[in-house]
Structure 1
Amino acid sequence: MSGPVEDEKLRVQQLRALRRRWLRDQELSPREPVLPPQKLGPVAAFWERFLQPGDSWRQQVHKFYQGGRFVMLRVLLPAWAVTYYLKYHVWKSPHGVVMTNPRIFPGDRILETGEIMPPLRDEHHKHH
């Protein structure tokens, strides 16, 4: 009766060896993962070269750039878009519209003062 028990022991031993090898294969070596080099856009490539170890002023320039970009994209452009929408689509009377006074002709009454515009004096020119 040593046949089936021996076969079972051998099978269990082989399964354990396979599991151990599979687990060992799942561990990444220090060289992995091997990824293709990333293609950077022109701006990202510039900053990658610019920020190579060097002077600290480069880091400060990069921080200033990032701050300005944040302010422009997250504050100024949305504020402009909201203002534009409100000004041209929501408000009844757009901000900054200057109403011109209507033309005043001789004989018209000026509402603010109540006076009547005198007739224009005849101008005699030497031509025609």
Structure 2
Amino acid sequence: MSIDFLPDKPIYQQLMERISGDIIKGIVKPGDKLPSVRDYAVEAGVNANTMQRVYRELELVGITETKRGQGTFVTKDEIKLKELRKDMKETLIASFIHHAEGLGFSKQEMIESLQIRKGGE
């Protein structure tokens, strides 16, 4: 399962977002072991060094923890996972607003459209 990467964003960031998204969606659960760096690199179709960076960055922000000789695991820290969810939500909202404003939509138009969608459209 090779991944189609966007050309305008570093691959390691896209992989971090993918893993974070899988955690938020519950595909990967707190305490789950992630595939080895090599296995995930092969699965994603990237260099093992890129995958190693992804795992290192995820650990630096507290999303994962590496247990020597056992592998890399998703944190069980509920506060960290709630922060991850909140951060991803805010990033998506900021991106949406930026793109919509770039197309000339007012904040009021965006709010009205979101309220209509919430109502069951």
What TM-score, normalized to structure 2?
0.28
Larger Rg: 1
What TM-score, normalized to structure 1?
0.27
- Structure having greater relative contact order (Cα 8 Å, sep ≥ 6): 2
Higher helix residue share: 2
Higher strand residue share: 2
